[in-house]
Chains A and B, each alone.
Chain A
Amino acid sequence: MKSFRFVALYVALTAVPLAACEETGAMVIPDAGATPTMDRLTYTPEGCGYEVSSPRVRTTALHAATIGATPTPDHLHASFSGPATTTFAVNWRTRGIDTLAAQVLYGTNEAAVMAADGPTADVLVQSGHSMVYDRLETFRIHEAHICGLAASTRYFYKVGGPGAWSAVFDVSTSPTIGTAEVWRFGVTGDSRNEPAIFAETQARIQAASVDMQVFSGDAVVLGPNQNEWDAFFEASSGGVTVQDVLAHVPFMIANGNHDGLAVNYLAQFALPQQKSAGERGEGEEWYSFDYGNAHFVVLNDTSTLDLINNEQRTWLRDDLSAVDRAVTPWIFVVHHKPMYTSATAHDPDISLRTSWQPIYDEFNVDFVFNGHNHNYERSLPIRGFASGTSEGQVQPAGTNGIPQAANGTVYVVAAGAGAPLYGVDGASTGYTVIAESTRNYVVVEIEGKTMRYKAYRLDGTELDVFEYTRP
């Protein structure tokens, strides 16, 4: 009898969080008498040469010329799902689920795009698809992939359908891969429950005129909570909205432990779908892409241990093996949890270190950008392990702790886009160049083999500045 009471109490206690998950949409539990619809769409957008798969959602639909009662697009944001030199992707939302129109009008003539209600001599059209994953079915997410573009070119675009278009935005394609042109990328992470702070970092990132940005995860606190994603996309600061920035600066995101690879995350971002063995999220769980003369790798370190140590590790080695350093001399890796950090909240992830660092070392990865610990920190160049340990071997460094002739990987934590700050203790590690508990963002300028790196505090003051030329 007593054991029964014990078991009953245990079951009751676990039922509470399960019910909470259900309310936030994390689980789809059928209504009495109904079965959940789980739909998925796979197709090749016209002219794209790559396949697009939606996550499993309640319903999906290819573009149809159906304009509903509330067709105004919002939450626009751009990314790269295909080659960054010739494509870009864009996601947006419409309220209600009766607007099936999922088109993009685009061209290099802003006035022509603004005036067009359909394709013209100067304005092209691309159709996409849409998805409904919300259990209450109060909104639809749209996605379109625009391909066949010219490198290093500015395109103006608007989304929606005839008679129901968004404002006009612009996005630029990457310079030719291997370029010597100057280009810039931003690094942010961990906005979580402060969308207003995130909006402020985005306003600063926009003012710094970056060409694209990477985000190291934890955009929200609870991935299945759509309210948080809405706040994320709707935030603004000083007249600059997050949409103003993300519709213009392609946003390449890594999954964080709080994002949870939820359907909200997978459906709202169009990321490269390279679908390796064991990978979840229709191939968006981890991916890589080239931009300018750099190769970016975005990993999911919140995956299962099995995937981290096996399939993802194998994919990482295969991916880096294929990099031609003569074309893309720079290799940047982005994932959420840091392997090297002095923060007082989360310890360095030793299991990641032992699993992935040998591959970073083997392929001379230049910089790893992480989040998770809400502060800023940069390490000395690290390669290998001290004999018989899992402690990284610090390499000889140049002025301000920068690598000498690519002799090690620099690990950066730049997770200051909103989440509550954590303390740091840079003096305790032996590998920290600088650590500060402050909101922050990073702007990296690349010109050939020279990097001009600046990390900023939220007030725009320079936090960490150096120039580094790799061999």
Chain B
Amino acid sequence: MAAAGVEAQDAGVVASRARQAALVREADRAESELRPRDAVALWQQALAAAPTSRVAARCETRIAYLTARSEGDYRPLADLMQMRTLPTSALSVAVLDGFARRLDGYPHGHARREGRELVADAWLGRLGDAARGRRAYTLWLAEPSLSDTERRLAASGLARSYTQLGDPAAALETMRSVGLGASTDADDLRTEARRRLLRVVAWALLAAFVIVGVALGGHRGFRAANLRRSLSPIRLAAAAWVLGGPLVIASMFDHAATDTFVTLALAGGCVLLLAAILGGGLVERSARRRRLVAVAAFVAMLGAGFLVLDRAGFLLSLGL
């Protein structure tokens, strides 16, 4: 009797889960056919069919998601769902403009805000129109009840639009105006501006090193006798130790970084080599000239190191 009861119970569970699975398929179809109101009813029936099943959580999630976007009797949501499925090839200026105009007439809420996001991202990202992107992000930012993340994303998009339009100052001001002046996105903008400047400085330092060395008479170092003296075995060994150490360590623990350390070693080696040669040409000159070349070589090394790490993307992680 007890066993029969258990069997009946098991059979009941199987039947209810099968019914739930069928209802879930119908709910999914309703969503794909842009009928969110029907989908909500189906998800609710599916949840009731087997409330302790694995799928019950999915039903609850979809009900919560769809009902939170039910403003305007689900019409804005249905429109948004259709726009989200459009491939980029079908996303013309007319289609996007049409959706933006419809958004203007929809009631405020989740669906309208997410619609603004779609329009703005599409203008700046997929269609590459920073001017229209700027206007669309501005509209998005003006929506009421934006969450912190929505405000951040909208401001970041607006800032990127300004950057692409060649106005980095406006980009940073945008971030500051929404209280994101200290955010990671604003930091990224400042970092990129700083990095552009530092690249120029790095090249200038390398050029200055060469100019200073030659101007002070270091070019005499290229004479054969001076070369032999400058590039002595002990100097070469010392350079190999300084430059090769990090390379060996990187190859042991992070082989993907080995290329970067090879480039660093080569760039640093070139600067050291040139410094040794230029210094060798100043042996018979004043110590003050040699010290000047040494200082110029040191800052040139920093410049070379910066350019290598910048190109390898290592500076991204270090916030430089």
Contacts and interface: CB of A to CB of B under 8 A. Distances in A.
A457 B118 CA distance: 10
Nearest to A419: B316
Given A304-B252, A304-B253, A459-B117, A209 B147 contact: no
A154 interface: yes
A153 B121 contact: no
Nearest to B25: A182
A149 to B, nearest CB: 11
A438 B128 CA distance: 13
A446 to B, nearest CB: 14
A194 B132 CA distance: 26
Contact of B313 (A173, A199, A237, A345): A345
A175 B313 contact: no
Contact of A209 (B57, B122, B150): B57
A354 to B, nearest CB: 13
Contacts of A181: 21
Given A193-B184, A207-B65, A154 B57 contact: yes
B26 to A, nearest CB: 13
Size class of the B contact interface (CB-based, 8 Å): 35 or more
Contacts of B143: none
B53 A305 contact: no
Contact of B147 (A172, A237, A248): A237
Given A10-B241, A239-B147, A461-B86, A196 B256 contact: no
A209 B62 contact: yes
Interface string B243-274: 00100000011111000000000000000000
A275 interface: no
Contacts of B234: 3
A6 B149 contact: no
A314 to B, nearest CB: 19
A420 B191 CA distance: 12
Interface in B9-64: 21, 24, 52-54, 56-58, 61-62
A221 interface: yes
Interface in A137-155: 152-154
A426 B152 CA distance: 30
Interface string A236-254: 1111000000001000000
Contacts of A461: 83-86, 118, 121-122
A364 B124 CA distance: 40
A238 B57 contact: no
B84 A460 contact: yes
B114 interface: yes
B107 interface: no
Contacts of A302: 254, 256
Interface string A353-376: 000000000000000000000000
Interface in B199-233: none
Contact of A459 (B62, B65, B114): B114
Nearest to B259: A347
B57 A462 contact: no
Interface residues of A, number: 48
A146 B234 CA distance: 64
Of B61, B118, B256, the most chain A CB neighbours within 10 A belong to B256
A438 B54 contact: no
A172 B54 contact: yes
Interface string A294-305: 000000001011
A216 interface: no
B173 interface: no
A200 interface: yes
Contacts of A173: 54
Contact of B54 (A10, A154, A420, A462): A154
B93 interface: no
B163 to A, nearest CB: 13
B181 interface: no
Given A10-B242, A200-B149, A207-B61, A257 B254 contact: yes
B87 interface: yes
B283 interface: no
A157 B58 CA distance: 17
A181 B25 CA distance: 12
B190 to A, nearest CB: 14
A13 to B, nearest CB: 9
A211 B255 CA distance: 36
Given A10-B245, A305-B255, A461-B84, A196 B58 contact: no
Contacts of B54: 152-154, 172-173, 175, 211
Interface string A329-348: 00000000100000001100
B179 interface: no
B85 A462 contact: yes
A351 interface: yes
A238 B147 contact: yes
A209 B58 contact: yes
A302 B253 CA distance: 8
Contacts of A152: 53-54
A312 interface: no
Closest 3 CB pairs of A and B: A209-B58, A172-B54, A238-B147
Given A207-B61, A459-B84, 11 more contacts: A3-B234, A6-B242, A172-B54, A182-B21, A207-B62, A209-B57, A236-B148, A257-B254, A302-B256, A305-B255, A461-B121
Interface of B: 21, 24, 52-54, 56-58, 61-62, 65, 83-87, 114, 117-118, 121-122, 125, 147-150, 152-153, 184, 188, 234, 238, 241-242, 245, 252-256, 313, 316-317
9 contacts: A154-B57, A172-B54, A182-B24, A209-B61, A209-B62, A238-B149, A346-B256, A420-B316, A462-B86
